[in-house]
Structure 1
Amino acid sequence: MEGVTTMVSQRPLVIFTKRSCCMSDSIITFFRNNFGANPAIHDLDQIQRGREMEKALSRLGYDNVPVVFIGGELVGGVNEVTSRHVEGSLVPMLRRAGAIFV
């Protein structure tokens, strides 16, 4: 859990992904193209201790990727990100975290 906590504290927008997950690519594209955000992307298939971090994310309630953190706060997966966007709370959250400036 410590590794995940450290990673999410270092950047305003952090996304945990896997290369085998098409939704991971979609959520990265969503943040980049819609908001001009530059997320820190941690591919659990490629990083050292990726399996351990995957287990830590699972303990937080997310067995699947992508998992998104904004301003150190767990937002969740695609459904939670989409819900926040539709309700209008995603952009203010990104601004407060310093992930976007527009």
Structure 2
Amino acid sequence: MQSGCCKPPTRCGYTFVTATNWISPIDAGVDPDCAAWSNNQDQLCYSCDSCKAGLLQNLRREWRRADVLLAVATVALLAVYAMGCYAFRAARTDELFQRYRQGYT
């Protein structure tokens, strides 16, 4: 969660000094997220709505990647299972008709 909260929202107009030190604009009361930002290392902007939105967006992106990976793995497992069933059936059929192929009646 800290990755999206270490800098103030860009729409607030904070001036960059260092990575965790920003100069507050004159009118920060326009947006509640702007007033929630603090240069204090323990607080930063963890209560901002924009921080929470950024975290949710990252989670959505990661889960979307995981969904694609799981779908591909499911298709691969179904293909292996289908080939296994076909091989098992073919092996049983060969065993059943083996004595007839060798000329025994």
TM-score by length of 2: 0.24
* Structure with greater proportional helix content: 2
Question: Which protein is bigger by CA-based radius of gyration?
Answer: 2
**Of Structure 1 and Structure 2, which has the larger fraction of its residues in strand?**
1
**Which one scores higher on RCO, CA 8 angstroms, separation ≥ 6?**
1
